[in-house]
A and B are shown apart, each in its own frame.
Chain A
């Protein structure tokens, strides 16, 4: 049974459909990457999975259980973590407090998970008493991912984790995504840096106009001349 199985998902804001039948399935040990042109519905699909958008048609299953249109806090309880693209930290809270908020529903786990997250992101340990608003973009992204990991999710949703980061930080974030995945967390992420992202993807989904255009393994999509020509800039 796949970890996440989205079938024929339709949805949008205020009666206007942005998603027009998206299919997406990833296994629990996989990294899924959503790429595509602007306005293709990439982030919208991620929001639909995390209950931030009304799904008008189709279904989304988490380990076979329908979860579409459940509120986000229920989905956190069911093992889903979401890292928004922007405003993804609590700026006036310290790094440690940010992480603690991630484990709000599992207060008993805080100590153990803090140690684990600090092991994943050593720079955060050093800055744990600093307000997250004072950190650099890359470190904020670590705080955001760390906060989501604190709840021990089985599926982590990342919305453009490398947006606005320098290439150096970008590679570091991709490395960390791979490490988080090998620790047993399924990943579904939206990325603008399509080539690098597909490079670490087990499954790639190329969306256009709210529908799947290509769906394959990351390597196969990178090798496909059609995909390269229309979506990866040659």
Chain B
């Protein structure tokens, strides 16, 4: 039973945390691709920007959350989302829109977004410094230890307060996005434009408005993902940049242009990563008597070492691109 709790702590909870963050990041990437048809490499740094806004706001108003009994960072998240949305629309106006107006190939936009990445990251570094900072400025990070009511279980299930928030916010975000895309007039128009931009225009849909709405949503989602990530660990100027690969892997696994595929892809990649670095020898311990010695003697039975975690999304990406380039949900091939 203790082994099971160990599994829950190190795989179920850790995988869900990683998966949720990848999922929200991948949804933004996939929405941008489905409307503007280019891979937005600056998405990771838009996430960092969102988290940085939360850090600034939480440092300025550390007591903001006390009245509601929640961390200041979460109360100020909507403001950070609005600021990041504003940044996303501004970046589009300043950099991507002129490129689109020239009718450039998507690859030019991709390289442009690489430039935006470097610029954003540099700017954030300039103001935040290079070290890690906690988004829990004035609040205490609660850690819950839930003892399971079984005999012989000594290890509790451990879950932190930001992780609970993360699960809740992910759920609300995904459900909210689903309702927006399937029920609202603008959401349906977004899907229509993703399907057939010429026909959308011929139907009287103003495609410039849809592009702006897409950036607002992508910016808001990026702020959520970046903040949740920084709450779980700490804020660092390059934290989300290193998530770019798994997030793109998640979007492609789910089928590019498929928001719910991206959510599924996020969890697939998140759990694959977690399972790959999980030490399976712990789970084998109860069966040690009936297993060959070489298996039980090995101290670490993980597929890859933690330091090689990043190869897992790479591996998944290659496998998917070779065997099923359209992803789980038949998205558009890049």
Chain A residues in the interface with B (C-beta under 8 A):
50, 71-73, 76-77, 82, 84, 87-93, 97-98, 100-102, 104-105, 107, 147, 151
Contact = CB atoms under 8 A, between A and B. Distances in A.
Nearest to A76: B204
Chain B interface mostly helix, strand, loop or mixed? helix
Contacts, number: 61
Nearest to A87: B196
11 contacts: A50-B202, A76-B203, A84-B199, A84-B202, A87-B198, A87-B199, A89-B196, A97-B192, A101-B205, A104-B185, A104-B205
A87 B195 CA distance: 10
Contacts of A147: 203
Contact of B188 (A91, A101, A105): A101
Contacts of A77: 204
A84 B198 CA distance: 10
A49 to B, nearest CB: 12
Contact of B203 (A91, A92, A102): A102
A73 B198 contact: no
Given A97-B188, A101-B189, A104-B189, A90 B205 contact: no
A101 B187 CA distance: 11
Contact of A72 (B185, B188, B196, B202): B202
A107 B185 contact: yes
Interface of B: 185, 188-189, 191-192, 194-196, 198-206
A93 B203 contact: no
A82 B194 CA distance: 19
Given A73-B206, A107-B185, A101 B201 contact: no
B199 A93 contact: no
7 interchain residue pairs of minimum CB distance = A76-B204, A90-B195, A105-B204, A90-B192, A73-B204, A101-B192, A101-B203
Contacts of A104: 185, 189, 203-205
A93 B191 contact: yes
Contacts of B203: 76, 101-102, 104, 147, 151
A92 B199 contact: no
Contacts of A89: 196, 199
Contacts of A84: 198-199, 202
Contacts of A88: 199
Nearest to A73: B204
B182 to A, nearest CB: 8
Given A71-B201, A73-B201, 6 more contacts: A87-B196, A91-B195, A92-B191, A100-B185, A101-B203, A151-B204
B199 to A, nearest CB: 6
A100 B187 CA distance: 12
A214 to B, nearest CB: 30
A101 B200 contact: yes
A204 B242 CA distance: 64
Contacts of B185: 100, 104, 107
A151 B198 CA distance: 17
Given A97-B188, A104-B189, A73 B199 contact: no
A104 B204 CA distance: 7
Contacts of B206: 73
Contacts of B200: 90, 101
